[in-house]
């Protein structure tokens, strides 16, 4: 008797390989699946990054070592439509996108989960560092931070629906550290035990995202004005997409104090600069919100809000907005460089353990809003 059938998403790295191995040890029938998402024009896609051509071979070897079947699914067109097209569109809007959030939502935990079900699988498993549990009091599945907070990936997983959470396994979230993952891989004789973690956006070439945009959206790389907060032109730029909030590079010199980017006005192709003090935002607005541990935000709530992947979760108060799927937030202490296009993820709970629970999240908008507490 097995515990059920699991489709393990195998990206070719050590995390997904150990995930598949652990689940097999625990008594599941495991099927390894790798997504073919690399684009033919991308050298990066052929040689490096998750789900690249080289990574597929690493995944195949790991599956063979573990003793499970392995298949490759062609997701190139779907990935291009759901992730790459949105990535480009966000730059056109003067925003700084996080493509991993959308990839997790639409590719891994919608379409791939659907394919897993078509194969008769009971669960989808991934190598993410996060935890899932069922809260009997609320009757909801909850996403929690990983035990190893330095590897926690819950920020990029906030969009998971209740259904996806109920059908997903993430065994690495309970491990004490990444070193333990590598130790398990070495003990199992997996060739990926010491493979470096992928740091790149999988579809972006080695030359970087600017080279990618030159090929896919040259219209966002056109010359425009750099202005100060008084509206005075102080220089020119070669494309709004070359900038992000808080950036110091590619700005004119000669100012008595360091200048930073404080706003991007894509509709008029303008970069606005100011001082470090101008970057401090008392609050924020997030749109397209999804909720996880709670059904919906109906009253003001004190949370910990995280506004960038590598940032710290800070105290904030959430307020329901009149617009659907939108919330406003007030930071307990003003925060630097609230960046439109990035995710705002909300954590809550009454104690340290409960404070690791993902309540929900949304996408930061173009407006940094100063509001008063409700």
289 is catalytic: no
Which member of 50, 103, 147, 289 is catalytic? 103
Question: CA-CA distance, 164 to 219, in Å (whole number)?
Answer: 37
40-to-46, 52, 76, 82, 106 alpha-carbon distances in Å = 8, 10, 9, 17, 21
The answer to whether 112 and 9 are in contact (CB under 8 A) is yes
Question: CA-CA distance, 120 to 130, in Å (whole number)?
Answer: 25
Tally Cβ neighbours within 10 Å of residue 147.
18
Question: 196 CB contacts (<8 Å, ≥6 apart)?
Answer: none
100 is catalytic: no
Which member of 50, 51, 100, 202 is catalytic? 202
The three-state (H, E, C) secondary structure of the chain, written as one string: CCCCEEEEECCCCHHHHHHHHHHHHCCCEEEEEEEECCCCCCHHHHHCCCCCHHHHHHHHHHHHHHCCCEEEEECHHHHHHHHHHHHHHHHHCCCCCCHHHHHHHHHHHHHHHHHHHHCCCCEEECCCCEEEEEECCCCEEEEEECCCHHHCCHHHHCCCCHHHHHCEECHHHHCCCHHHHHHHHHHCCCCCCCCCCCCCCCCCCCCCHHHHHHHHCHHHCCCEEEECCCCCEEEEECCHHHCCCCCCCCCCCCCCCCCEEEEEEHHHCEEEEECCHHHEEEEEEEEEEEECCCCCCCCCEEEEEECCCCCCCEEEEEEECCCCCCEEEEEEEEEECCCCCCEEEEEECCCCCHHHEEEEEEEECCCCCCCCCC
The catalytic residues are 103, 202
């Amino acid at each position: 008797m097995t515990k059920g059938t699991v489709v393990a998403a195998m990206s070719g790295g050590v995390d997904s390989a150990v995930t598949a191995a652990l689940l097999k040890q625990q008594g599941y029938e495991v099927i390894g699946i790798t997504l073919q998402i690399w684009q033919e024009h991308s050298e990066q896609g052929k040689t490096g990054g998750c789900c690249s051509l080289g990574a597929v071979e690493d995944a195949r070897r790991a599956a063979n070592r573990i003793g499970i079947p392995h298949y490759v699914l062609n997701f190139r067109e779907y990935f291009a439509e759901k992730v790459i097209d949105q990535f480009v569109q966000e730059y056109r809007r003067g925003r700084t996108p996080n493509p991993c959030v959308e990839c997790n939502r639409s590719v891994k935990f919608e379409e791939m989960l659907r394919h897993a079900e078509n194969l008769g699988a009971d669960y989808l498993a991934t190598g993410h560092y996060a935890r899932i549990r069922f809260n009997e009091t609320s009757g909801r599945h909850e996403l929690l931070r990983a035990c190893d907070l330095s590897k926690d990936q819950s920020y990029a997983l906030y969009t998971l629906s209740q259904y996806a959470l109920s059908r997903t396994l993430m065994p690495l979230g309970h491990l004490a550290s990444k070193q333990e993952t590598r130790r398990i891989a070495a003990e199992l004789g997996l060739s990926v035990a010491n493979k470096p973690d992928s740091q790149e956006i999988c579809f972006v070439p080695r030359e970087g995202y600017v080279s990618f945009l030159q090929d896919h959206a040259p219209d966002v790389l056109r010359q425009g004005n750099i202005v100060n907060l008084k509206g005075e032109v102080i220089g020119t730029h070669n494309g709004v997409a070359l900038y992000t909030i808080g950036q110091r590079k590619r700005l004119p010199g000669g100012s008595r104090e360091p200048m930073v980017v404080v706003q991007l006005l894509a509709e008029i192709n303008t970069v606005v600069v100011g001082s470090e003090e101008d970057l401090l935002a008392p609050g924020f607005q997030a749109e397209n919100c999804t909720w996880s541990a709670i059904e919906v935000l109906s009253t003001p709530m004190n949370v910990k809000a995280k506004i960038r992947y590598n940032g710290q979760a800070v105290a904030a108060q959430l307020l329901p907005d009149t617009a659907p799927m939108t919330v406003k937030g007030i930071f307990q202490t003003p925060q630097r460089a609230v960046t439109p296009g990035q995710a705002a993820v909300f954590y809550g709970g009454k104690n340290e353990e409960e404070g690791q629970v993902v309540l929900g999240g949304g996408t930061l908008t173009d407006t940094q809003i100063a509001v008063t507490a409700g």
